[in-house]
Amino acid sequence: MTLVQSFRGAVLGVAADDAAEGVGRLDPGIPPQLTVSPASAEEVAAVLGWAAQEGLGVLPLGTGSHVDPVSDGPYIVLETSRLTGIEEYQPADLTITAGTGTKFGVVDDALRENGQWAPFDPPRVRERSIGGFVSDAEHGPLWAGYGALKNHVLGATVVTGDGRILRLGGKVVKNVAGYDLLRPVVGGRGRLGVVTSVCLRAFPVPSHERVLMITGDNVLELLEMALAVGTAPILPASILVGGPMTTLDGRSALVLRLHGAPSTVAADQATIEAHIGSLLEVPGASPGRADLLLDELRDYGGVEPCGVEFSVLPSNLPDVVSVAADAGLNALVVDTYAGRIRIGSDRLDPHALNEVRAAAESAGGAMRVVRWAGADRPAGTPHRGAEVRLSKRLVSIFDPGGVLWPTRP
- 169: β partners: 155
CB 203 within 8 A of CB 195: no
Clarify whether residues 348 and 214 are in a common domain: yes
Per-residue confidence (pLDDT) for residue 96, from 0 to 100: 97
* Segment 67-123, tens digit of pLDDT: 666 666 788 889 898 999 999 999 999 999 999 999 999 999 999 999 999 999 988
- Residue 215 and residue 331 share a domain: yes
Please tell me whether residues 220 and 362 are part of one structural domain. Answer: yes
Q: Are residues 16 and 56 in the same domain?
A: yes
Asked if 169 and 222 sit in the same domain, the reply is no
pTM (two decimals): 0.88
Residues 65 and 116 in one domain: no
Is residue 406 situated within a structural domain? no
Is 364 exposed, middle or buried, given 0-12, 13-18 or 19+ CB atoms closer than 10 A?
exposed
Average pLDDT over residues 326-336: 94
Q: What is the CATH number of the domain that holds 160?
A: 3.30.465.10
Number of domains forming the structure of the chain: 3
β-sheet with 95-99: strand ranges across:
86-90, 95-99, 194-201, 153-159, 165-169
pLDDT band at 55 (very low <50, low <70, confident <90, very high): confident
Q: Which residue has the higher pLDDT, 92 or 384?
A: 92
Residues 90 and 167 in one domain: yes
Helix (H, G, I), strand (E, B) or coil at 103: strand
Q: Is the per-residue pLDDT at 24 higher than 60?
A: no
Residues 224, 364, single domain; the answer is yes
Mean per-residue pLDDT, 21-33? 59
In a domain, 326, yes or no: yes
Residue 9 pLDDT > 50: yes
Average pLDDT over residues 151-160: 94
pLDDT tens-digit map of 366-378? 999 988 877 788 8
With respect to residue 43, please indicate whether it lies within any of the assigned structural domains: yes
One domain for residues 323 and 241: yes
Strands, DSSP E only, in 270-339? 306-311, 332-335
What pLDDT is attached to residue 22?
A: 45
pLDDT band, very low/low/confident/very high, at 407 (cuts 50, 70, 90): low
Phi, psi torsion values for 335, nearest 5 degrees: -95, 95
Domain end residue (candidates: 28, 45, 79): 79
> In the prediction, which pLDDT does 25 show?
43
- In this structure, are 258 and 325 located in the same domain? yes
Over range 244-248, report the average pLDDT.
93
Which residue has better confidence, 179 or 302?
A: 302
CATH number for position 338:
3.40.462
Asked if the structure places residue 400 within a domain, the reply is: no
Last residue of some domain: 57, 79, 101? 79
Domain that holds residue 304: 209-371
Domain CATH for 51:
3.30.43.10
Q: What is the mean pLDDT of the chain?
A: 88
Q: Are residues 93 and 198 in the same domain?
A: yes
Give the pLDDT of residue 360: 97
Report the percent of the chain where pLDDT is more than 70.
91
Q: What distance in Å separates the CA atoms of residue 274 and residue 283, rounded to the nearest whole number? A: 20
Q: What confidence tier does 409 reach under pLDDT thresholds 50, 70, 90?
A: very low
Nearest-angstrom CA–CA distance, 59 and 77: 5
Residue 409 lies in a domain: no
**Per-residue model confidence as pLDDT tens digits over 180-231:** 789 889 988 888 999 999 999 999 999 999 999 999 999 999 999 999 999 9
SS3 for 105-150 is HHHHHHHHCCCEECCCCCCCHHHCEHHHHHHHCCCCCCHHHHCCHH
Within-domain flag for 392: no
Report, as an integer, the average pLDDT of 384-390.
80
Question: pLDDT tens digits, residue range 273-310?
Answer: 999 999 999 887 566 789 999 999 999 888 788 899 99
Give me the pLDDT at residue 386, please. 81
> Which residue among 157, 186, 204 closes a domain?
204
Report pLDDT for 61. 85
What pLDDT shows up at residue 27?
A: 52
Amino acid at 196: T
Whether residue 401 is contained in a domain is answered as no
Q: Are residues 232 and 110 in the same domain?
A: no
Is the residue at 343 inside a domain? yes
74: preceding bond cis by omega (within 30 degrees): yes
